[in-house]
Structure 1
Amino acid sequence: MTKIGFMSDLHLDSNQFGAFERQTLQHLLQEQGLEHLHIAGDLSNDFYGISLPFIRELEQVLPVSFNLGNHDMLGLSESEIAATDFQVQQFGQTKLISFSGWYDYSFVPEKSKEEHLRTKNNFWFDRRLQRDLDDSAITQQLVQRLDALLTSLQGPLIAALHFVPHRDFLYDHPYFQRFNAFLGSQTFHQVFQKHGVQEAVFGHLHHRHQSRKIDGIRYHMRPLGYIREWELTRTFFEDFPQYRISQHYRLHKRYNAVKDLPEFQDYKKKHLAAELRDALTVIEVQ
């Protein structure tokens, strides 16, 4: 048996991963007895300056593979992005296929392309990226490459990508539903189903879900996300209710109010390993 770990959305820069955070993660990976780690995107907003050096550091502990997320793509050319896509690694009889993924607005079909572009250009991180094709064309190209690759492979298959491959994982809050257009595409699920993919791991949407099986594919979504979204940040306010603020529902405001407190820093150190463990998916293959 080979134990493969999967993580995503570490956002090293926003989460200010320093020596303590890195050492805690390395100890966790060793403690879990992993033989390989795959990172499914969004390590940072600086691929060469932060993401890649972090990967090289982890490789001193165990073998690491990765696919890009949209944040990792900032400043990269289309050829640099494409060079990381559709890697295939073999563990016994099982093959791990990794690629970034993208979106085609199909999760929100009731709005026009023009409406989606206005929302994207006003609010979404990806307005900062320079892609050669429009979003639907990028997704269509990726789906075609994925279909061709999976057609050529035999044996048990695991897929890792950054973007959301099935609508069951979308935002259900009315305010956020407009952003579902930029989360992924159901076409990835359709290709997985066509080729009998057994397991799929992804991130992008910063909510952790219990693993679930859909159409024979077991999906895993346990992104780390931003520290303001972490479970330890939520429970800090339960254990220290004196620091609750009037706009407690605004995650960035409540986090900014306590992030420099000694009590919060101590709490984070005490609970960080559990937070990282909760964001780790482990799949055992033969």
Structure 2
Amino acid sequence: MTLPRDAWATLRSATPMTLDQRDVDQLRGTADSLTLDEVADVYLPLSRLLNLYVAARQDLHRVTDTFLGSLAAKVPFVIGIAGSVAVGKSTTSRILQALLARWPDHPEVALVTTDGFLWPNAELERRGLMDRKGFPEAYDVASLVHFIAAVKSGEPEVSAPVYDHVIYDVVPNERIVVSQPDVLIVEGLNVLQSGSSSDERVFVSDYFDFSIYVDADEADIERWYVERFRTLRGTAFRDPRSYFSRYADLDDDEANATASDIWRRINGRNLRDNVLPTRSRADLILQKGPDHAVEQVLLRKL
């Protein structure tokens, strides 16, 4: 189903707004223009839909446990969120985490990004993959699958590596611990990937109960990426620890050229070759317009 924004907004029903402008300001990403109105129109209806899905999945697990004569086990509901670099999937993930955690039936909502499962830069250099960072082969996929399987299996504590966007690398000896959440949101470029019908490997997407793809025209995403790059010159790039500190003093023309080159060689290519082909596998697609606002929602019914 394709639902224009105004039609989708009516599906909020009586869902109360649980965030204020300060919350939205803290949760949105660099160069993202998310507003409180968009949270009300787009993300509140989505949180309502997800709440219904979580409740239905919990009921299904209880039915299965009753049939097996076993004690009801707590099985986290796993949501996958995919999309290009700079499309706003991190903001979407944080907003959904905040909204879902305010529903009484599932207050524990964890968020993990797949960036932590990138191979460290030293290993990427050794493998000749630094210019393919974010491509499927740049990830320790086995560890990522093991992590999600352990969380889904209800293990008391499962840890994941931490990625620092300032140093542009995995942080040595630092972990984030996930302790039996009600809902786990997994955000990343390639989380919706799967294999062919003859492929016997297990994929991250095999563990998802619901999946979301954040979509926009490539020309708009590239423009957002360049705008974000220019903004970061005066913020994160100024940090002496920043991997990109060498770009802090570029003028506007130089910054535009550099960001466009990075997009052309890495992010745009990865989008076309690996990320965009997974869009059709999502249960729901948030389609953005040139101003970063969601214009319509595509929902898979079957």
Provide the TM-score with structure 2 as the length reference.
0.30
- From the two aligned structures, give the one with the greater helix fraction: 2
Provide the TM-score with structure 1 as the length reference.
0.31
